[in-house]
Amino acid sequence: MLNPMENTIDLEEPITAAKCSENLSSVEDAIYVIGGKWKLKIIIVLQESGSIRFNELQRNIRGISARVLSNELKDLELNGFVKRVVHAEQTPVVVEYISTDYSRTLKNVIIALSDWGKMHKRNIRTEAFLSQ
> Is 100 inside a domain boundary?
yes
Residue 91: pLDDT band (50, 70, 90) is confident
pLDDT in tens, 34-71: 999 999 999 999 999 989 999 999 999 999 999 999 99
Look up the domain containing 47 and give its range.
18-113
Distance (Å, whole) CA 93 – CA 72: 21
Q: How far is 54 from 69, CA to CA, in rounded Å?
A: 8
* Domain-located, residue 37: yes
User: 52 and 82 in contact (C-beta within 8 Å)?
Assistant: no
Residue 5 lies in a domain: no
Question: Considering the domain boundaries, does residue 28 fall inside one?
Answer: yes
3-state SS, residue 128: helix
CATH number of the CATH domain containing 37: 1.10.10.10
Amino acid, single-letter form, for residue 56: E
* Within-domain flag for 2: no
* The predicted structure's pLDDT at residue 104: 94
Q: In the chain, which residue ranges form alpha helices assigned H by DSSP?
A: 17-34, 39-49, 54-60, 66-78, 107-120, 126-130
Q: Are 96 and 85 in contact (CB under 8 A)?
A: yes
Q: How far apart are CA 68 and CA 72, in angstroms?
A: 6
- State the pLDDT at residue 50: 87
Q: How far is CA 118 from CA 4, 15, 90, 126, in A?
A: 12, 29, 43, 14
Q: Which residues touch 111 (CB under 8 Å, ≥6 apart)?
A: none
pLDDT at residue 48 in the model: 93
Is 8 within a domain? no
- Counting the structural domains of the chain, the total is 1
Mean pLDDT, the chain, integer: 87
pTM beyond cutoff 0.75: yes
